[in-house]
Structure 1
Amino acid sequence: MRTFSLLKGQPVFETKKGTRIGEVHDLCISSSGKVNGLLVKKGVLFKQFLFLDIQKVASFGCDGVMIEDAECLEKLNESPDYTLTHQHSLDGMMMLSRSGESLGMLKDVYFQEELGTIVGYEITDGFFSEITEGKQVIQSGEPLAIGKDAIIVDVKHT
């Protein structure tokens, strides 16, 4: 399990040839709240964004994401339902519990890499709140509901 902020910017390597393909740019999240892939940025001058299905990742290492073959990367024909920071961004969206309690704004997600399951949400109430209270993490056993105005989660009480 890791946060997206630790994964962002990591290089993507092809194990067949040992070449660097690109770097992780964002998460592709389905409307049911599951991570179904990574958005990989390829190129420096002429940037291209490609989709990498989470099931086609060979391993998530500390220093890079490994794939068997560059053929795993697909052109992004249509934009994903949601991303964390790119198009249809969830970053900064208001989070509410199913009981109607305001939890804060989404800042990062904790997810199980191999399964693509989001298991926690890092939220913020603003800069000063983070300094005084530190990071706030909400665990949720249920998939979230993403709406136009808010993200609804079933908060797991621990």
Structure 2
Amino acid sequence: MVKQVNLTGKPVFFLCLVPVFPEDRATMENLSAHLFSTERDNKNVRKGGMTLRTFSLLKGMPVFTIKGERIGTVHDLSISEMGQVTGLVVHQQALFKRAFHLKLDDISSFGPDGIVIMQQDSTLRKVPADSICLSKDELLGRMLFSEMGEELGLLQDVYFKEKMGTIIAYETTDGFFSESTVIESKQPPALGKDTIIVSVYEQ
């Protein structure tokens, strides 16, 4: 924006830089056209009639019972040793935050602004000891490698099927100021201590 101010009879121009912040991170995603070419909104991605979820958009989302009681917010994503998303880690609304595991099967619906479950008592369980959490175990920011040893970038996000938990794509970046890249994979990842190995070739 350019603003004109008249000082001592002479016009002086000031250039005002106005920062613009996207309302949702989805507006910044650079998805490959061949991967997600059907439909998407600011909360999910659709591919061939199948809804895909991303952890970045689920994190911080409130969780409600079918009766409208808010029980907590999504804090993390749990993944099995086989590379399958098993559920969400929910932090309850309490003085001392407690983490519980919410299996994908127990979720009634993924809404645009919240997640609904049928009932609380039999649904929320302790986080399985053998589960791997995307944030807690610091998978985000870890280097992704192809099965041929090629660096694919630092992991930023994962795309998974909301019903089955199958991870089908990864969002990576080369650094803070580089654009994101979405990498498709038909095989589950190998989650190592220091790296993540994904298959990016036709099987």
Cα pair 2:81 2:130 within 8 Å, conserved: no
**What runs of 5+ residues in structure 2 fail to find an aligned partner?**
1-51
Q: Which residue of 1 aligns with 2:176?
A: 127
**What runs of 5+ residues in structure 1 fail to find an aligned partner?**
none
Q: Which residue of 2 aligns with 1:142?
A: 187
For this pair of structures, how many residues does the alignment match?
A: 150
RMSD after superposition: 1.4
Q: Which residue of 2 aligns with 1:20?
A: 70
Secondary structure, counterpart of 1:142 in structure 2: coil
Q: Find the aligned partners of 1:66 and 1:27 in 2 and give their Cα distance.
A: 17
Report the residue type matching 2:101 in the other structure: F
Tell me: CA distance 1:31–1:104, structure 2 relative to 1, closer, same or farther (3 Å): same
Write the mapping of 1:7-156 to structure 2, written as runs, cut at 5 A: 7-15=58-66, 17-71=67-121, 72-76=123-127, 78-86=128-136, 88-129=137-178, 134-156=179-201
Q: Find the aligned partners of 1:119 and 1:36 in 2 and give their Cα distance.
A: 14
Q: Find the aligned partners of 1:80 and 1:7 in 2 and give their Cα distance.
A: 22
What is the CA distance between 1:44 and its match in structure 2? Answer: 4.4
Higher helix share: 1
Report the residue type matching 2:165 in the other structure: G
1:31-65 Cα shifts (integer Å, max 9, x gaps): 11110011001024310100111111111111111
Q: Find the aligned partners of 2:169 and 2:155 in 1 and give their Cα distance.
A: 11
Cα pair 1:31 1:82 within 8 Å, conserved: yes
Which structure has more RCO (C-alpha within 8 Å, separation ≥ 6)? 1
Cα pair 1:98 1:154 within 8 Å, conserved: yes
What is the CA distance between 1:80 and its match in structure 2? Answer: 4.5
1:64-103 Cα shifts (integer Å, max 9, x gaps): 1110000200123x445311112x2211111100111100
Higher strand share: 1
Aligned-pair identity (%): 51
